[in-house]
Amino acid sequence: MTDTIFLSGLTAECIIGIWDWERKVRQKVVIDLEMRADVRRAAASDHIDDTLDYKKVSKRLQQFVEQSQFQLVETLTDRIAQLVITEFGVPAVKVRLNKQGALRGSRDVGIVIERRREDYLPSGPGGST
């Protein structure tokens, strides 16, 4: 499957960072997603119920991020990937998280990760994620 539904430039404010001042001030993060999805059924039916509803994804992510209080962008980015995969049934996702202005002299700083459904399956008996 080579179909991708993307969402670019989704913004949210959250507590993110390791420094004392960062634990007190909400900072803006910008999220780009590439979500694998088979869109053939939706293309044939022309009905929203047969595809990934990116409006629902966007609203859920904004809610999640705004309530989060992680120290590392790595953690937040991984949790975003996990949420998209587990709550929306996406088989694979690429997440780019940008913490603009986090580094003096640089416009953008952040992380890009790719995850698959298998990355969040329990591992063996009594498994963990």
Residue 129 lies in a domain: no
Residue 69 lies in a domain: yes
How much is the pTM? 0.90
Dump pLDDT digits (tens) for 27-81: 999 999 999 999 999 999 999 999 999 999 999 999 999 999 999 999 999 999 9
Residue 99 lies in a domain: yes
| Active-site option among 28, 56, 94, 99 | 99
Alpha helices by DSSP H, the chain: 40-45, 54-67, 73-88
Dump pLDDT digits (tens) for 73-97: 999 999 999 999 999 999 999 999 9
CATH of the domain at 68: 3.30.1130.10
Split into its structural domains, the chain has a count of 1
Residue 24 appears among annotated catalytic residues:
no
Specify whether the CB–CB gap between 68 and 79 falls below 8 A: yes
